[in-house]
Amino acid sequence: MNLFDVYPLYNVTPVKALDCKIYDDKGIEYLDLYSGHGVISIGHSHPEYNAKLKAQLDQLSFYSNAIQNPLQVQLADKLGKLSNCEEYSLFLCSSGAEANENALKMASFHTNKSRVISFKNAFHGRTSAAVATTDNPKIVAPMNAQQAVTFLPLNDIDLVEAELKKGDVACVIIEPIQGVGGLDMGTTAFFQDLEKICDQYDVVLILDEVQSGYGRSGKFFAHQHHGIKPDIICMAKGMGNGFPIGGILTSPKFKASHGLLGTTFGGSHLACAAGIAVLEAIENEKLMDNVAVIEKYFFEQIKQIPEIIKVKGRGLMLGVEFDFEVGPLRKKMIMEKHIFTGSSSNKNLLRILPPLTVKKENIDQFIIALKEALAELK
């Protein structure tokens, strides 16, 4: 049997990893500045994380959500306190797309409406409604395209309000920092106005924090830089440090009823152990403080690269933009300089999404390698 051909693959086979380093089957060491799409939040093979998962695996890895699971309660309690979202309720699932699906469904149930406002270059996942709200027609099947979705440019609040006035919008879904779309962001004024008009027109405001959450921006959630309180917050990637876990936080305006939401694998014992271990590491190791330190250092050091025309994003969710397509540069960085970075729909942009444990010397290594690679490509 062949594997379905999903992505073009680099000829690298990782076999082990530690913190920000990955080692392949030939013994070559790589610096990981991409974290597998921003998933590795507390570093590869974190000792306390590994120990907690191994201990849980020896006890109970999974059982149905029809029984008591104190680990879910423990995770919700710790998440609420660390994120300053204690008034929200937690629903656990297994991925970012699943989180966004459930958020969109909750909004539609709540408003009894179906149209969604999304934004240019948005990426919200590859499942039914989530992919319909993703601004990439190539990955939207005709079945998904039946969803009623309107795409608007970022930072034009008048256009958003004109759509909300029509009275048929269930929700607005937005990334605080666009990931796949290329690290564009709404302004603070835009987000604050968006919160006001969604409340005014009884439209649910969904913040997709799947990639930007869990400390990656320097605050627990990136929308907290703007001082807003969305109706639903979606989470996943950094939540389990590689273990599949996702979730949504719902504000008190949503009332639960049995059967409204459901999941088979969400909130399993093993997933909760992973989630708790990540929160403990973020708190105990003050990783959000490290994000602020490294962000500042990165912006200072990247000035050494005159070919860069713009640095986008914030925290450790960054993009460096050039005036040429970066595919060959990214390949050289991986295959010759042994540094992983990411791409986006902006072909001129390298994405930088390291573990939150990244150090200044790792940034120095990147700067030196980037200088060399650019010189060699010339």
* pLDDT exceeds 90 at position 258: yes
Task: Name the packing angle between helices 269-284 and 70-83 (round to 10°).
Answer: 30
For residues 76 and 25, what is the distance between their CA atoms, to the nearest angstrom? 39
* pLDDT exceeds 90 at position 343: yes
Other beta carbons within 10 Å of 249: 26
For residues 325 and 302, what is the distance between their CA atoms, to the nearest angstrom? 19
Q: Confidence class of residue 308 from pLDDT cuts 50, 70 and 90?
A: very high
- Which residues partner with 204 through β-bridges? 171
Q: Confidence class of residue 233 from pLDDT cuts 50, 70 and 90?
A: very high
- Over residues 47-62, the mean pLDDT reads 97
What pLDDT is recorded for position 200? 98
Convert the pLDDT of each residue in 173-192 to its tens digit: 999 999 999 999 999 999 99
Would you give the end-to-end CA distance of the chain in angstroms? 43
For residues 260 and 213, what is the distance between their CA atoms, to the nearest angstrom? 25
Other beta carbons within 10 Å of 358: 27
Convert the pLDDT of each residue in 60-77 to its tens digit: 999 999 999 999 999 999
Full-model pTM: 0.97
Convert the pLDDT of each residue in 123-170 to its tens digit: 999 999 999 999 999 999 999 999 999 999 999 999 999 999 999 999
| Four-CA torsion 39, 42, 47, 51, nearest 10 degrees | -60
For residues 212 and 234, what is the distance between their CA atoms, to the nearest angstrom? 10
- Over residues 362-368, the mean pLDDT reads 98
Residues in CB range of 365: below 8 A, 6 or more apart? 31, 339
* pLDDT exceeds 90 at position 58: yes
- Over residues 33-48, the mean pLDDT reads 98
What pLDDT is recorded for position 255? 93
- Over residues 323-327, the mean pLDDT reads 96
* pLDDT exceeds 90 at position 378: no
- Which residues partner with 248 through β-bridges? 91, 234
What pLDDT is recorded for position 122? 98
For residues 119 and 159, what is the distance between their CA atoms, to the nearest angstrom? 11
